[in-house]
Structure 1
Amino acid sequence: MGTVTPLPLRHPAQVGFDRAELTRILDLYGRMVAAGHWKDYAIDLGRDAAVFSAFRRTAENPEFRVEKRPALRNRQGMWALVNEAGLVLKRGHELGPVLAPVERRLMKLVAE
């Protein structure tokens, strides 16, 4: 019997969030739910990007999307915060600074 050697893949079949990234995103989501602002979320794992979408109501477009695109790692940064209209609000190499505008908004919601 011969041995089977798997062929090396150039790109992973699917981009995903690791545990620390997903914990950070879901922590923010949970705080926004507790503030009464977000009601639902969706996760889309594709070949090019992993996207976390947060919704005010289920039947609407997502208010914010957090996108992870590893192909942009060496250029603009693989993380992006996209608003409801599709405009990129923040892009960076680290997740924390990209989530900062939403966290500032949470502080305003809690203060009201």
Structure 2
Amino acid sequence: MNSLTPFPGRGAPPDEVVAFQRNELNVILSLYGRMVAAGEWRDYGISSLREVAVFSVFRRTAETPLYRIEKRPKLRGRQGQYAVFGMDGQALKRGSDLRTVLRVLERKLIRAVE
């Protein structure tokens, strides 16, 4: 059951789009809230495309993303469907468990608070 509605005349039909589920967004937004409170992050964007869903994190709205959290279900059996990419496009962590993959960013939170 997919409740996504694309913008009129844009993108793929909802059943062909990869999106973050509510429980996945809860995990991501929990980390996002802690990073905002620490003054590290200020904005985010979410994209749902045919093969990938992307949660992009920004320090400022007009910049390129600091990090991209991607969900690619087709990679579930290989590298894992979740990945975190840095600003330079390098994969920082890949895996099949979202919480485990996001730990690479939580380490940065610990350093920011010290």
From 87, 90, 94, the counterpart of 1:87: 90
Aligned length: 100
The structure whose Rg is larger is: 1
Identity %: 55
> Which residue number in structure 2 is paired with residue 54 of structure 1?
57
Kindly provide the CA deviation profile for residues 9-48 of structure 1, in whole angstroms up to 9, marking residues without a partner as x: xxx4111111110000001001100001111000000010
Deviations 1:39-72 (A, max 9, x none): 1000000010000000001111100100000000
Shift of 1:82: 0.3
Q: Over residues 74-104 of structure 1, what are the superposed CA-to-partner deviations in whole Å (9 max), with x where a residue is unaligned?
A: 1110000000000001000110111011101
Whole-Å Cα distance in 1 between the matches of residues 81 and 100 of structure 2? Answer: 12
Partner Cα distance (2:49, 2:56) in 1: 14
Q: Which runs of 5+ in 2 are unaligned?
A: 1-14
Q: What's the counterpart of residue 64 of structure 1?
A: 67
| Matches of 1:50 and 1:20, distance apart in 2 | 14
Specify the alignment match of 1:18 in structure 2.
Answer: 21
Please tell me the residue identity of whatever aligns with 1:39.
R
With normalisation by structure 2, the TM-score equals: 0.85
Q: Distance in 2 between matches of 1:91 and 1:101?
A: 10
Could you say which residue in structure 2 is the equivalent of 1:37? 40
